[in-house]
Structure 1
Amino acid sequence: MTGSDKTNTSNAEADGFRDTVFLPKTSFPMRGNLPAREPELLARWQELDLDGKILAQSEGRPLFVLHDGPPYANGNLHIGHALNKILKDVINRSHRMTGFAVHYVPGWDCHGLPIEWKVEEEYRKAKRDKDSIPVLQFRGECRAWAAKWLDVQMGEFQRLGVQGEWNHRYSTMDYSSEAAIVGEIGKFLLNGALYRGLRPVMWSPVEKTALAEAEIEYHDHTSTTIYVAFPIITDPTSAEALRDVSAVIWTTTPWTIPANRAIAYNPEITYVVFRADETSPDAAIAPGMKLLVAESLVEQVCKDCGIVEHHILYTMPGSALDGAIASHPLRGQGYEFDVPLLSAEYVTADAGTGLVHIAPSHGEDDFAVGKANGIEIPELIADDGRYVDHVPLFAGIHVFKAAEPVCAALAASMTKAAEEGSAPNGLLARGELVHSYPHSWRSRKPIIYRATPQWFIRMDGENRIREKALQALGDVTFVPAQARNRLTSMVADRPDWCISRQRAWGVPIAVFVNRQTGEVLRDAAVMDRIVAAFREDGADAWYDSDPSRFLGNDYNAADFEQVFDVVDVWFESGSTHSFVLNKPGLRFPADLYLEGSDQHRGWFQSSLLESVGTRGVAPYRTLVTNGFVLDEQGRKMSKSLGNVIAPQDVNDSLGADILRLWVMNSDTNEDLRIGKEILKQQGELYRRLRNTLRWLLGALEGYTDAEAVPYAELPELEKWVLHRLTEFDGMMRQAVETHEWVGVYPALHGFCTTDLSAFYFDVRKDVIYCDGTDSLRRRAARTVLDVLHRCLATWLAPVLVFTADDAWTARFGKDSSVHLESFPVIPEEWNDPELGDRWTTLRAVRRIVTTGIESARRSGLIGSSLQAAIELPVYEDKTSLFDGVDWADLAIVSQAEFTILPATAPQVENGANIPCGAPVVTVAEGEKCIRCWKVLPEVGQNAAYPTLCVRCADVVASDLFCSPAAGH
């Protein structure tokens, strides 16, 4: 027979035995095809009424309540929405799978400026005046806009695999919600915390409304900077020090000079009076003029104001300025104000002049100083940002166009002072500064601080809301822990809460004010009627009902002003606990609030203040914060950069499971990055997890409980796998308890790829494929594979919601679902740390062995590892470590034996002591079994099967393959 004939005969024989090898068989496909498969699964879940089954299953279980922070219903979801909702879904699902009843009620924020802005955009396109539209018609259009996007976003969240009680969702524009919100306003009214007052608030001239801190974002802005001299007209000491001297301020807001009413100094700062001895040709100040500034800032002031030489005349503490009075720099041009110098500890000498221009209408600190000293709080700016008609020189000018006319007027004052030889008065110098400046989140335009009458909730006083809120936070758990400092500092430093907005779309601050006394009406019966009307007709009732519907017979409507300001949307969303957590299956306070890090100034804070103000406690037990999403280069996403990753696009191209995997493979405590390459990496990680599940399913084909081997009879390798499962079970359950998921799923992926695919599966393939069905080794391996499949499918189910269910139903049938399962209960006896340590060492030895085999392969000594025999030299005092281990199986070679080395210092690999020397690799003796491919001397001992080893011959000769149905 020729060599070719011999080979052909051998191949033919091998083909004849192929059906006797237990190769994996499964309906679970290699490729997920997630964009097509996931919608099919969503439809199947609906047919199964999976949500209904989940609810029914939860009966009698302990509650876990995650209260959903409402996203804004005004457009398609962005990647930040996906991150937050997926993280919530993982937490909810994992709690459900550890025995909790989870009733997740998704919600939406539907009122407020962004929706108004969108509706107004349509008016602007049609050249219609929004103010000419009847308010109820406008509110109706806003409601329709919000309803449209609420439905769109709901579908997009469901496409992401988020499970919730979608049919019972909440929104702030539901009539019942509007009634509850106005009822919460009423509680603050009746307990005295709500008041109307004049104070500076962040104001958008474009949108003509007050804004909350959470509605502000910061962008670079170029401001005109000015140094202004205020002549001192009254010297508190009646001495020479301040005679003919001007106090100098520096500001980045020239438009606030008309509102100046004082100058602030710090009594702890050292100030000087200096004389300008020589000035540059273009300097506004003339030689001989005297200025007052902080000592540490003299050089900078001189440099900026063109003063070449100067001489310090007097040095004094700030306290010496007590009682000094200056003149307004525009005196004689309609500003006949004395400007007192007032003490304020917040003044620093870090920049500027060490003296601060005080415009009480246009800054929180300025307002506080002015109010404490009885200073006038002028109202000079209209809603649209223009000076009102009675402002001298600048009436009708917009504040953002006021720098030139203000500087011109100040320069005229300075020229006049120079001509008269009097103390410097007016503009000393001007410049420009690019700095971070607050802008409206919606219009992207700069905002101003503007004193207007607004409605506030008092943080201090009788109700002690600030104090109680800080106390309540002491009992709240923060994840990550450092987030505590951020929220507590914000609560500690915040001013009274401005809750009024000058808009139309929202819940009105439904109160009445007595026209004669200016006092707000605090009557519980009136408030009850308002709440009842809102519950019946929604907040529109406030606009289309006669006031007597609310006032009843006890009051004359003509005596009262009806307030039509709407409440801050942060108050609305902060009130959601009051009308969501009282639903069936929920409870107050919630176990968890989870939102982005920006919500420390938004929903986390407003919910805390609202709940403390009405109930005295925080509405949550734990706060979890996730970071923002950036692109792969760490940049903020924007359409102009072309770096936006939309979740809808990821669903359509890769699948929602890939996006979910990205979330859980990221450090969600920090800012996250995403992009095409990162998603490609996630796709590769997903492929490995899917391959692990697929191999398990294939290797378990036909498995029944009758095969199961008791733990005590399992080989040590199988026991080691079960020990590893106890470690992951502990990791998963700790994450459920603490909500700290960072690193959990990367570790599980590492287990699948390193411990299972690259090690355990590789080692046990021969046993599973080639041992007989009654083999203890094969039954033991399949017993462990059964456990692995159940553990991995359920542990992955909170994240890979579609894939894990597919992997479950591929084995247990289409009427089942992994989402009705619990995490497996792992027996305590499986936890064996000593076994874990032993196999850590054995695997380190195996790496040395496989390195030697690979070297032999590269040298051409062998082809596959099954052509090899190894001789492993073991230190004589370490031989017990190798007892009971089949190194031929473990190293995937055909033959293995040991030699003994004298006890000596073992080699070290990665810090671990290795109890053996380098292996010797040779070519295995014998013939290749054409069924299992091992090279063994025993091949051919069975005359009936001359090309098989003893094991394979016995399996082939068994009843399983010798029956007529087997074809042998």
Structure 2
Amino acid sequence: MNDTATGATETDYSSTLFLPETEFPMRAGLPDREPIWLKRWADMDIYAMQREQAKDRPLFTLHDGPPYANGNIHIGHALNKTLKDMVSRSMQMLGHNAAYVPGWDCHGLPIEWKIEEQYRAKGKDKNDVPVVEFRQECRSFAEQWVDIQREEFKRLGILGEWDNPYLTMSFDAEAQIARELMKVSMSGQLYRGSKPVMWSVVERTALAEAEIEYADYESDTIWVKFPILTSAAPQRSGTYTPIAGPSVSYTAGGEQQFAGASVVIWTTTPWTIPANRAISFSSRIGYGLYEVTEAPAENWAKVGEKYIIADKLAAEVFAKAKVSGFEKRASVTADELSGITTAHPLRGFADGYKFDVPLLDGEHVTDDAGTGFVHTAPSHGLDDFDIWMTSTRLLQDRGIDPTIPFPVGDDGFYTKDAPGFEGARVIDDNGKKGDANQRVITALAERGAMVARGRVKHSYPHSWRSKKPVIYRNTPQWFVYMDKAIEGTEGDTLRHRALNAIDATKFYPAAGQNRLRAMIADRPDWVLSRQRAWGVPITVFVHRESGEILRDEAVNHRIAQSFEEEGADAWYKPGAAERYLGSDYVASDYEMIKDVLDVWFDSGSTHAFVLRNKQKWPHLKFPASMYLEGSDQHRGWFHSSLLESCATNGHAPYDSVLTHGFTMDGDGKKMSKSLGNTVAPQDIIKQYGADILRLWVASSDYSEDLRLGKEIIQTTVDSYRKLRNTLRWLLGNLAHFRAEDVVDAKDMPELERLMLHRLAQLDAGVRTAYKEYDYRKVVTLLTNFMNIELSAFYFDIRKDALYCDPISSIRRRSALTVLDHLFNALTAWLAPILVFTMEECWLERHPGETESVHLRLFPDVPADWLDDDLAQKWQLIRAVRRVVTGALEIERREKRIGSSLEAAPQVFVADPRYLVALEGQDLAEIAITSAVQLKQNEGPHEAFRLDDVPGISVVPALATGNRCARSWKVLPEVGTDPEYKDVTLRDAQALRERAAAGL
């Protein structure tokens, strides 16, 4: 093989090639270039242009769950807002009017806590500051962080109504939140009651379940004996079969049977013993009367003492009590337990605790741990409260006062309802254990009531803000009934409405439906009140004598009107009660409630002052098309929004709910500052750009927890670089595309029609994935197509035609037409994800002042481009190509050839299907060789084969002839053109056409 014709000097023809030309840089420089596009969008007000453009399209409303305005955004915020942006952008491009109004949660404890911290640092006391002044400081703090977060969200490329967001602290929002509460009150759903709620001593307020996180905590554990006073069970004999153990014969003898015996309880909260009012047992558990037969003299559990304990737990209890010998004296039936009354173990201490302690049958009792008996303090536990309240009639029949005490104050100190312990504290202001546990344990030990003690590390509720442990504490609070019929309905309840609404809602992923349903099915009444200052007040008046809530629409109107004009601060100004009550009522007859609403009611009401506010946001609809938040919001915003809307509207405020997981580090560990494994979105943007962060979000399975670390970011950068290079190559070749080059699909070569078929397939796949919010699938479809089918296949084959073919070549013009279709589709399909890069790419070809890829719809791809028969045929052709390229790769590796154009392999085809497919095809062009010898047989033994392509084998061979100085093909025809002796006949024709065109 000769490199050039004999005696000829090779000419440099590079200037005659249609080589790619573009100013679209290979290096993205996203950190520096992205702000340019942000400014451009702001200057042209692209959001307003979208609204005008889409004003007649169907509305799609993704309602923004409000982040909290109290700090810089973190990676969870970035994930959440980016997903929302992808939803809105893709739905806009699918043909909707997808307006996006961002919002902020501005009230509540986190902000109030920050202001209090500032006070403490200055030695100031919050209680010395007028409440309106304090609230103004909270408002200023929130405003500051709204402005900071707004710029951080915009830097992510989030497109929305940033100049007109919603704030829960805006006057109109506060007015509507108050109206929503008053609607609940007017329908008879609001009530003030006493119930144990999770209480933060550190923050001095009740907390909702959504404000609780669980962490390991070491608790004191004690086993305590409650002496039996009486037993109402008559004497009888029989056989009793406990759940654990064999049947036992017994004789039950009423008081005589249990004389001198005690019921033993176990608790991890010794400080709740002063609040004990009952003991709970289970009729499903087997119990026995046990006697201590052998124990050390110094033991709390003495020889001869008798205890009633669950059979399954007896051995464990005696081991904890260091009892070396015990015997079961009798089995104890549920009837016998029901008739037992015990004495409080502190009976007579400080002249208190003289009440009787009954035994109550409770479904919550198990024999998994403890003694099979649950010490029941209705002031400090929901199960305890529930069984106490459902047993009121029984308690009264037995002469027991059902009143629930308030043994612990809001500051964590015991009250007068805990005789002998006033001044002791459960938890201090720093969240540390007080002396209450030890004081109670010491008192119990001195009175001979202790059986054993220990310590246990277990999961315990903490406030997610202060990170300090909380307690259950009985306090007066404001509630919404879950199961009381709503006035004006025929027995309809809030729980019933909410469950029906869940069934009518679409969930992504679908498992979220069952999760939310289970939470609503089992939840207690909704606690609305917080004992704080920064929030929307509970705008009700209560008659001081009757305790009745005032329900008067005129009063309600005056309250709401004042909030519209002055904000919720109006509630706290002098003379507010007289102003609202007017002349119809005497202000001194009414209590004006000072508690504020839980912020979950604020955010749960956003649908009322955002989605239905057509004057302020005309492009939104109610119910929203979608709510989208992290999976923790099943118990948070999804939950409170559902209850609030069902209470006031009768249905959910959303048509669908989408949830995402949490961000973990690269090893799958939860991110935390203490571990030093957090990743700040600001750092990623500064180093790589926001589009890299967005590509990571889109590439991840957001339905699960998402991992993020250096290696994962680098993988995302590599993926981005490949996508960018593909687009750059497209742009470079399209620089030579002219309107007159357009070729109709039916007139194109098969390879181009194959690419159009794939575009039509992708159009359906991409649209479906976007409609199903499956961005990972979008990325997978497009990256595989761009990397494998375009860069490594189609572009690879068509480089020669695009660079070298004559201007008139139908093959070249068809390829340019396909590149134009590819560019239009890919830039649109990727625009919701790579918002900056696609804008840069689009403007490279369309530099107009009002041009933007984000003003486009997804292009209409003709369905008649689909050609399954052609695609099946080319599957066979591509299989043959893989065998050829596999064989030539070995030749290159062994340095027998430099490029594939130096080869003219022999291709042996034994399978007739491949022969049919290859008929009329230029296999040399497809395999990027100078020639191919096609033979119909199995081929020699030493031929190259691939296991997954049976019937095809290849024997490499060198091409013969001279190398074309322009296209580098090696062909015998090089040198036969009289005018251009060092190029192929094709290249000679291209040179003639260029000369004729003056190029």
With structure 1 as the length reference, what TM-score do the two structures score?
0.95
Counterpart of 1:62 in structure 2 is 58
Q: Letter of the aligned partner of 1:860 in structure 2?
A: K
Higher mean alpha-carbon deviation, 145-154 vs 825-834, is at 825-834
Q: Which amino acid aligns with 2:858?
A: F
Is the 1:226–1:251 contact (alpha carbons within 8 Å) kept by the matching residues of 2?
A: yes
User: Partner amino acid for 1:293?
Assistant: I
Equivalent of 2:933 in 879, 897, 918:
897
**1:924–1:936 Cα contact (<8 Å) kept:** yes
Instruction: Name the residue aligned to 2:702.
Output: 668
Counterpart AA for 2:316: Q
Aligned partner (choices 424, 445, 448) of residue 397 of structure 1: 424
Is 2:412 aligned against 1:385?
Answer: yes
Counterpart pick for 1:874 among 905, 909, 918: 909
Correspondence for 2:82 among 86, 90, 95:
86
Distance in 2, Cα, partners of 1:859 & 1:650: 43
Tell whether 2:401 aligns with 1:365. no
1:567 Cα shift?
A: 0.2
Corresponding residue for residue 830 of structure 1: 865
- Residue of structure 2 in register with 1:254 after alignment: 270
Residue identity matched to 1:449: Y
Residues 442-521 of structure 1 mapped to structure 2, 5 A cutoff: 442-463=465-486, 464-521=493-550
The question of whether the paired residues in 1 share the 8 Å contact of 2:61 and 2:100 is answered with yes
Aligned to 1:421: none
For 1:805, the equivalent position in structure 2 comes to 839
Match of residue 32, structure 2, among 26, 29, 36? 36
The residue that corresponds to 1:570 in the other structure is 600
Tell me what 1:202 maps to: 198
- Does the alignment pair 1:580 with 2:610? yes
1:775 aligns with 2:809: yes
Assess if the C-alpha contact under 8 Å between 1:241 and 1:314 holds in 2.
no
Q: Which moved more, 1:580-589 or 1:388-397?
A: 388-397
| Matching residue's letter, 2:903 | A
Counterpart Cα distance in 1 of 2:808 and 2:336: 100
Task: Give 3-state SS (helix, strand or coil) of 1:540's partner.
Answer: helix
Q: Does 1:602 align with 2:636?
A: yes
Matches within 5 A, 1:512-661: 512-546=541-575, 547-582=577-612, 583=614, 584-661=618-695
Q: Distance in 1 between matches of 2:790 and 2:549?
A: 71
* Contact 1:387–1:395 (8 Å) recurs in 2: yes
Aligned mate of 1:270, from 259, 266, 286: 286
Q: Is the Cα contact below 8 Å between 1:720 and 1:835 reproduced in 2?
A: yes
The 8 Å contact of residues 876 and 903 in structure 1, kept in 2 or not, is answered as no
Q: Do 1:370 and 1:376's aligned partners in 2 also have CA atoms closer than 8 Å?
A: no
Q: Which moved more, 1:727-736 or 1:147-156?
A: 727-736
- 1:885 pairs with 2:915: no
Q: How far is 1:741 from its partner?
A: 2.9
Identity of aligned residues (%): 50
Runs (4 or more) in structure 1 with deviation over 4 Å come to 3-11, 907-912
Check 1:687–1:281 CA distance in 2 against 1; reply closer, same or farther (3 A cut): farther
* Pick aligned residue for 1:116 from 112, 115, 127: 112
Distance 1:911 1:526, change over 3 A: farther
Q: What residue in structure 1 maps to residue 124 of structure 2?
A: 128
d(CA) in 2 for partners of 1:699, 1:387: 81
Q: 2:370 aligns with which of 334, 346, 352?
A: 352
- Cα deviation, residue 201, structure 1: 0.5
SS at match of 1:199: strand
- Summarize the Cα distance change of 1:277–1:44 in structure 2 as closer, same or farther, 3 Å threshold: same
Q: Distance in 2 between matches of 1:7 and 1:452?
A: 104
Contact 1:69 1:107 in 2 (8 A): yes
**SS of equivalent to 1:429:** strand
* C-alpha deviation, 1:682, in angstroms: 0.8
Partner residue in 2 for 1:19: 15
Q: Which moved more, 1:452-461 or 1:914-923?
A: 914-923
Q: What is the CA-CA distance between 1:747 and the residue it aligns to?
A: 2.5
Structure 2: how far apart are the matches of 1:77 and 1:835?
A: 51
How far residue 876 of structure 1 moved from its aligned partner, in angstroms, is: 5.3
Provide the rounded CA distance (Å) in 2 between the counterparts of 1:282 and 1:758. 84
| C-alpha deviation, 1:731, in angstroms | 1.9
How do 1:705-784 and structure 2 match up within 5 A? Answer: 705-784=739-818
Q: Is the 8 A contact 2:31 2:685 kept in 1?
A: yes
Whole-angstrom distance in 2 between the partners of 1:215 and 1:876: 68
> Take 2:569 and 2:214, find their aligned partners in 1: how far apart are those partners?
35
**Of 267, 289, 299, which residue of structure 2 is paired with 1:283?**
299
Counterpart contact for 1:241–1:273, Cα < 8 Å: no
1:834–1:252 distance in 2 versus 1, CA, 3 Å: farther
The aligned runs of 1:685-704 (5 Å cut-off) are 685-704=719-738
- Is contact 1:73–1:149 with CA below 8 Å preserved after alignment? yes
CA drift of 1:9 comes to 7.7
Counterparts of 2:897 and 2:297, CA distance in 1: 92
Alignment of 1:337 with 2:355, yes or no, is yes
Q: In structure 1, what is the equivalent of residue 458 of structure 2?
A: 435
User: How far is the alpha carbon of 1:813 from its aligned partner?
Assistant: 1.2
Deviations 1:909-967 (A, max 9, x none): 9996x363211110001111011011111000013222111111111122x2356x54x
* Change in CA separation of 1:319 and 1:763 when aligned onto 2, cut-off 3 Å: farther
Deviation, structure 1 residue 6: 10
Query: What CA distance in whole angstroms lies between the structure 1 residues aligned with 2:313 and 2:742?
Result: 84
Between the aligned partners of 2:481 and 2:296, the Cα distance in structure 1 is 53
Gapped runs of 5+ residues in structure 2? 234-253, 393-401, 427-432, 487-492
CA RMSD of aligned residues (A): 1.9
Which sits farther off after the overlay, 242-251 or 274-283? 274-283
Question: By how many angstroms is 1:241 displaced?
Answer: 3.2
Find 1:305's aligned residue among 316, 321, 332: 321
Which residue is equivalent to 2:399?
none
Q: Gapped runs of 5+ residues in structure 1?
A: 415-425
- What SS does the aligned partner of 1:22 have? coil
State the distance in 1 between where 2:664 and 2:580 align. Answer: 50
> 1 CA distance for matches of 2:805 and 2:106?
64
Deviation sequence 1:482-527 (CA, Å, 0-9, x none): 1111100000111000000000000000111111111111111111
SS of the aligned residue for 1:553 comes to helix
Task: Give, as a single letter, the amino acid of the residue that structure 1 aligns with 2:164.
Answer: H
Q: In structure 2, how many angstroms separate the alpha carbons of the residues matched to 1:901 and 1:378?
A: 97
Letter of the structure 1 residue corresponding to residue 855 of structure 2 = L
Aligned to 1:864: 899
- Work out the CA distance in 1 between the residues paired with 2:593 and 2:209: 23
Any idea what the Cα deviations from partners look like across 1:333-352, whole Å, max 9, x if unmatched? 12212110001112111111
| Cα distance between partner residues in 2 of 1:390 and 1:218 | 29
In structure 1, the partner of 2:133 is 137
Query: Do the aligned residues in 1 keep the contact of 2:222 with 2:267 (CA within 8 Å)?
Result: yes
Aligned to 1:422: none
Following TM superposition, by how much is the alpha carbon of 1:74 offset from its aligned partner in structure 2, in angstroms? 0.5
CA distance in 2, matches of 1:873, 1:4: 28
2:240 alignment partner in structure 1: none
Amino acid at match of 2:767: R
More divergent stretch after superposition (317-326 vs 157-166): 317-326
- 2:864 is aligned with what amino acid? E
Q: Is the 8 A contact 2:4 2:965 kept in 1?
A: no
Deviation per residue, 1:5-27 (Å, 9 max, x gap): 9999845x1x2x11111110011
Matched length: 945
